[in-house]
Amino acid sequence: MQPRGQQFGNDCQKMNDALGQPLFICANIYRGSSYGPMHPLRIPRASTVMDLCRALDWLPAHQFVTSPRAKPAALAVYHTPDYIAAVQRAEETQSVSPEDRAKYHIGTPSNPVFPEMFRRPATSAGGALLAGELLRGGGVVFSPAGGTHHAFADRAGGFCYFNDPVLAILSLRRNGARRVAYVDIDAHHPDGVEAAFARDPDVLMISTHEAGRWPRTGALTDCGVGQVYNLPVPRELNDDEMALIRDEVILPIVQSFAPDAIVLQCGSDALTEDPQSRLCLSNNAHVEVVRGLMPLAPRYLVLGGGGYNPWSVGRCWTRVWATLNGFPEPQTLPEPARNVLRALRWEGQRRVKTPPSDWVDTLVDAPRGGAIRDDIRTMIRALQARARTWV
């Protein structure tokens, strides 16, 4: 008899093969779970995307997969057993010893103790591991609660306790994908993912992130011995600059790498409205990266990531799901979808009592184009030259 989890994965694989439609992995643990009343992750994100997609009739039951919670043994394919045990212990006791805080970076303002501090990240990790199984025969999976790219094997970092992008890549490789391209358009550099794969020639990593922003890694010259491309972009990056990066760096390098699978971390904190960066993208930029990567590999996993304005992150990731399915987007949202957005609250240090109408009435941002700066062109040329030496 197969283990229950394996049978569940096989059943979902059969469903994906039969329907040929993208699958949406999520869970209700994100509904009402918060890192605390003053933490940037106090806002609803994955639950907003689920609710918006259902309000638009874009999430039928046969495309929704409930994310399992990864057990410690599954997490240990990357994370150290002592670190996993420390996170479990902190959830159970709702406290952290000074020794564990110093060693594992938990119980800090960035990585606080909260009621679901093991179960919540273990659920996004379980979704990542399951995605690798679901994509064994090809297909598309969206996991908006994923994208926790700052966690290391033995410690937390940047709101991230377990590194689900790393776990997803490992799962994809266990399930037949030899070469995996990881693309990250979050405003913050994926230091945890780079640490895991910088020396692996069969994992391509391309990251666009704001220069000088935490964790202050990912310099243009950081490339390891594997295929690592970092683009530390300047403040106020606009849609036209991102389009040039997409067309001159991301898409051609991924295509030349010829991956068996692509993992896209689609953090929405690079949007103008987000408080955690100074980049100026519209959600059109994200949609075009999602669309451009779709034909470049038979397996495609799209993760969430950063995003700290509840309206912009919910609208952006709902558009991502629409793009993966080819759904036509309404110019004006129907009343059920607007009600989802009207019900959002953003309280704490930053309060928005009455959101602008375009945060409620439509999913589509106005384009945010602009001039293409010389330093962007210089970075692109440097990465193109590096790519020619690796192809």
pLDDT (tens digit, 9 = 90+) per residue, 21-75?
999 999 999 998 999 999 999 999 999 999 999 999 999 999 999 999 999 999 9
- pLDDT for the residue 389: 82
pLDDT band at residue 206 using 50, 70 and 90 as cut-offs: very high
Q: Are 128 and 172 in contact (CB under 8 A)?
A: no
Q: pLDDT tens digits for 248-286?
A: 999 999 999 999 999 999 999 999 999 999 999 999 999
Closest by CA position to 325, among listed 65, 20, 14:
20
- Say which DSSP state 250 is in: I
Contacts with 93 (C-beta within 8 Å, 6 or more apart), sequence order: none
Q: Does 380 score more than 70 pLDDT?
A: yes
pLDDT band at residue 224 using 50, 70 and 90 as cut-offs: low
Q: pLDDT tens digits for 144-201?
A: 999 999 999 999 999 999 999 999 999 999 999 999 999 999 999 999 999 999 999 9
Q: Which domain holds residue 163?
A: 4-390
pLDDT band at residue 358 using 50, 70 and 90 as cut-offs: very high
- pLDDT for the residue 127: 98
Q: What residue has token string 């997969």?
A: 65
Q: Does 316 score more than 50 pLDDT?
A: yes
Q: Are 59 and 53 in contact (CB under 8 A)?
A: yes
Q: Does 313 score more than 60 pLDDT?
A: yes
Q: How many CB atoms lie within 10 A of CB 173?
A: 18
- pLDDT for the residue 14: 45
Catalytic residues: 150
Rg of the chain over all Cα atoms, to the nearest angstrom:
20
Say how many domains are in the chain.
1
- pLDDT for the residue 20: 85
Q: How many CA atoms are closer than 13 Å to the CA of 257, on its beta-carbon side?
A: 30
Q: Does 93 score more than 60 pLDDT?
A: yes
Closest by CA position to 258, among listed 318, 199, 322, 180:
180
Q: What residue has token string 């997609």?
A: 53
Q: How many CB atoms lie within 10 A of CB 177?
A: 25
- pLDDT for the residue 353: 75
Q: Does 7 score more than 70 pLDDT?
A: no
Q: Does 347 score more than 80 pLDDT?
A: no
pLDDT band at residue 348 using 50, 70 and 90 as cut-offs: low
- pLDDT for the residue 18: 43
- pLDDT for the residue 85: 98
**CATH number of the domain that residue 302 is part of:** 3.40.800.20
Averaged pLDDT score across all residues of the chain: 93
Structure tokens at 190: 């994926």
High-pLDDT (> 90) share of the chain, %: 89
